[in-house]
Structure 1
């Protein structure tokens, strides 16, 4: 591995790098504080007032800066909701802590010269990076340094025609053959590839998709199982790569496959945005093009034609986070003929891009009825009764999304859906909550599609709490 590749693959969420960064920040702060206290003690013996100020001033500034950081973060998050969602207590705490350390360091820059000033300057830099890393860990958004720059290590592949429909057998048949020893070359891990999914019908300008193929799809035997499929979408801003890196998809699916004889769903992270800055609302519109047709026609048809994928709606799930969660709900509910399971985390109550009147004018040619059909609750009611499965989740500390779940889930249950509503304990509007919800949704989906005979039990997932509906 080259030095550049090694650097890009350094983890930001765990491992040696964040631990080292946090440690350096703490040590530098301790050095400045220790020297200041020593100077104060030594100076007080000689009656020096400046020595006392060297300790008192930085500490007072640190407290004031920390409080200001906490208040500003709280106002942006919970009062003005500038980012559309609450940031969560961990992020707010990191903002306050970061401001306190920066204030402490800057005051030492002003008070000292020479080596101590240099230490203080380095502490400012380390404090900023430590705060950013801590916030990233809270969200689980950027897994590696490379992901900050939109880079990843996934290889490009042409999966066109990798499976012939005539060679596919049912999951039940495949499990029987595997039990009989007829299939012996099951790989230990699945593979993730970048693919170009042609926008043949929609002409939507999508970025490359990512495809996870489980071990059972990679065997060299002629017969492969017709596997269930999960169509997964990021939030906005976001990308297919973010789904896999932040969502931990490959690790999660490989772990499932290891416990189920190489069987796991195929996962498609398709691009519903076209660009990080675009919020397409996952509809066909004159603004960003036919995102809905791309997802429900081009992507679905390509998967069914080229991959060892099952065709029935009961074998397909649609999932997503934040904006992608809203998309999964509105698309899943509006297309029960395509998706039998819906797994959203952190969904909005309705698609949102600007004011409602502006959105209806720009995206729906002024047709309010067309917009209303995309609101998840309306979509659920419009296609009732439904036999779909809904596993809907939110982070415990993402109060708005929890309220949304509490409004959506009862309607879905009333209209016939098989609903499990959960909150991810200790998490907010972040990818940690996504992983918790998706992990349970995976076992529900696997049981419903015959990948496993073990009936899912929410009690086996201690980080999830059922939301009463």
Structure 2
């Protein structure tokens, strides 16, 4: 029941909460417009709405296409919400004067409602904050060993040897023994089969979030545990183990998954993290059982590292990755991470790495991008073509109606998971038998 839900956990993206918010905001705006008016006020209101919408469009254009702080073009939905906000604010301000007191109060209440509706609409478009808990930064995860002990205790109490519930997500510290990289704690997802007292060796996915961001984004905004749990419930508790290390060091850092003076991110991800995985998790040892995946900057990392280390990874999942690693302008990128060497920078491009290691014998790559992601769509297509030319078994999927957002990540994982499972041998007879 709705009354039993903690307000912090109410869904901010789907109806009915959004429908209620939009309905109240629309009703309040209607009350503002229905006040005493004349021809002059009506004309000024229409003109103001048009000017306000134009101001909203200008703001979105400046942020997205001129200042470009995130290297991502705003989606059509986000631009429309910005225009709607500009128009609605103009309508309210132009109808404050000449109203009776209660209508002025209503108009003043309309301003925060318009701001809240626009913010909620943009958030729903991007999918960044699914709940208020996430938006306030209150989402947390237990230590992995504690979560695992609890899961096994619950399983024993139920009188079974294999968990029939959901998987678990917990935090771990993966030491940067070789790389020295200053990484934040990682997160690990264990499917129900991995929480058994005698778990099978399972495939593993090394998943990387975008930038700015943190490993927790994959589970809070991306909802990855939900997707994996749904798959596991349909396959006897089996799903890949997913390890989400930190490839950034801090939300706004971008070492671009190379070893440089910005940090030895590449060595951390391809040496320290795999070493820890093999030592602490029961995973398949062969490269065919290993996948590297990522979204946005993490997607760039996935194709960079996967293409450069086919002896480690058998499958790559690149979700809306870049054409080249980027830390600001090309000049700044070359200076910051490649010691001013344009040749080193060019060699770090995914297409160059693919060409240098071609032909590949048994490497697969899954590329996913939103068909409304106008900036990244041609880039992903170009890298997918380069992978195909290099002999990589490549598949390209375009998510209908999504842009550079977490809805695309949801589509990507939902689409790619059966492919990864088949390729990594997740449902092989010996694995299934060990879980029964």
| TM-score, normalising length: structure 1 | 0.83
Over aligned residues, Cα RMSD in angstroms?
A: 2.5
Residue 408 of structure 1 is matched in structure 2 by 383
How far does residue 403 in structure 1 lie from its aligned partner after superposition? 0.6
Preserved CA contact (<8 Å) 1:161 1:307: no
Hey, what's the Cα distance between the residues in 1 that align with 2:137 and 2:277? 25
Is 2:408 the partner of 1:421?
A: no
Note closer, same or farther for the CA distance 1:420–1:132 as it changes in structure 2 (3 Å cut): same
Task: Give per-residue Cα distances to partners, 1:370-412, cap 9 Å, x unaligned.
Answer: 3223210011111111121111011101122111122111221
What SS does the aligned partner of 1:274 have?
Answer: coil
Among 160, 169, 194, the alignment partner of 2:171 is 194
> CA offsets, 1:246-289, max 9 Å, x none?
111011000110111100001112111111111111122212x2
Aligned residues: 416
1:209 maps to which of 157, 178, 186:
186
Moved more, 87-96 or 100-109: 100-109
Q: Could you say which residue in structure 2 is the equivalent of 1:467?
A: none
Where in structure 2 are the equivalents of 1:266-415 lying within 5 Å? 266-287=241-262, 289-386=263-360, 387-415=362-390
| Cα shift readout 1:142-182 (whole Å, capped 9, x = no counterpart) | 222232343314222337999xxxxxxxxxxxxxxxxxxxx
Match in the other structure for 1:32: 32
Kindly indicate whether residue 217 of structure 2 is the aligned counterpart of residue 230 of structure 1: no
Alpha-carbon distance in 2 for matches of 1:211, 1:378: 32
1:87 alignment partner, one of 74, 78, 86: 74
Q: Distance in 2 between matches of 1:69 and 1:382?
A: 46
Task: Note the C-alpha offset of 1:80.
Answer: 6.7
**Structure 1: gaps spanning 5 or more residues:** 41-50, 163-182, 454-469
User: 2:356 and 2:124 mapped to 1: Cα distance?
Assistant: 40
Whole-angstrom CA distance in 2 between matches of 1:15 and 1:160 = 32
**Match for residue 10 of structure 1?**
10
Which SS does the other structure have where 2:216 is aligned?
helix
Determine if contact 2:147/2:169 at 8 Å carries over to the other structure: no
Is 1:158 aligned to 2:133, yes or no? no
8 Å contact from structure 1 (residues 231, 270) kept in 2: yes
Measure how far apart 1:76 and its partner are: 4.2
Give TM-score scaled by structure 2 length.
0.89
The answer for the alignment partner of 1:219 in structure 2 is 196
- Give the distance between the partners of 1:134 and 1:161, measured in 2 at CA: 37
2:431 is matched with: none
Query: Would you say the 8 A contact 1:330–1:375 is kept in 2?
Result: yes
SS for the counterpart of 2:145 is coil
| More displaced 10-residue stretch of structure 1: 366-375 or 241-250 | 366-375
1:263 counterpart residue number: 238
CA distance in 1, matches of 2:275, 2:100: 67
SS, match of residue 317 in structure 2: strand
Deviations 1:420-455 (A, max 9, x none): 1111111111111121122211111101122247xx
Query: Does the 8 Å contact 1:154/1:192 carry over to 2?
Result: yes
Distance 2:251 2:174 in 1: 18
In structure 2, what is the Cα distance between the partners aligned to 1:410 and 1:338? 22
Match of 1:253 in 2: 228
Matches within 5 A, 1:51-90: 51-74=38-61, 76-78=63-65, 81=68, 83-90=70-77
Q: How many angstroms apart in 1 are the aligned matches of 2:78 and 2:376?
A: 17
Q: Distance in 2 between matches of 1:23 and 1:306?
A: 51
**Partner SS for 2:130:** coil
Q: Which moved more, 1:66-75 or 1:249-258?
A: 66-75
